[in-house]
Amino acid sequence: MLGYILTTEQYDQVQGQFINPYQFINCVQDINDVWFFFGNEQDKEAFKDTEYMWLFDLPQEEYVAPPAPEFPR
């Protein structure tokens, strides 16, 4: 899955910020501790008139999920 790569500073700037009363930005960290933002064309439309449209200009890279935690049986 492709995502937009954020620096730690960019992550700190956008994490949890609302783009409208119903949507907020939620980033995830991959197995290599790289922060990612995921957005599709519908999201891009929602971001159109916000100060966060620059997220869609960030470089993209393949997201590698961390392994799922093991739970005791």
Report if residue 71 sits inside a domain. Answer: no
pTM of the model: 0.88
Total domains present in the chain: 1
Beta-carbon contacts of residue 5 (< 8 Å; ≥ 6 apart): 34, 35, 36, 58, 59, 60, 61
Whether 12 maps to a domain, the answer reads: yes
Does 62 reside within a domain?
no
Q: Is residue 65 part of a domain?
A: no
Answer whether residue 66 is part of any domain.
no
- Per the domain annotation, does 69 fall within a domain? no
pLDDT value at residue 73: 80
C-alpha–C-alpha distance, residues 69 and 25, integer Å: 24
d(Cα 14, Cα 26) in Å, to the nearest integer? 8
The pLDDT of residue 69 is: 87
Q: What is the domain extent for residue 8? A: 2-56
> Following DSSP, what letter does each residue of 6-60 receive, concatenated?
E-HHHHHHHTT-EEETTEE---EE-TTS-EEE---HHHHHHHTTSTTGGGGGS-E
pLDDT in 10s for each residue of the chain, 73 residues: 899 999 999 999 999 999 999 999 999 999 999 999 999 989 899 999 899 999 999 999 999 999 888 888 8
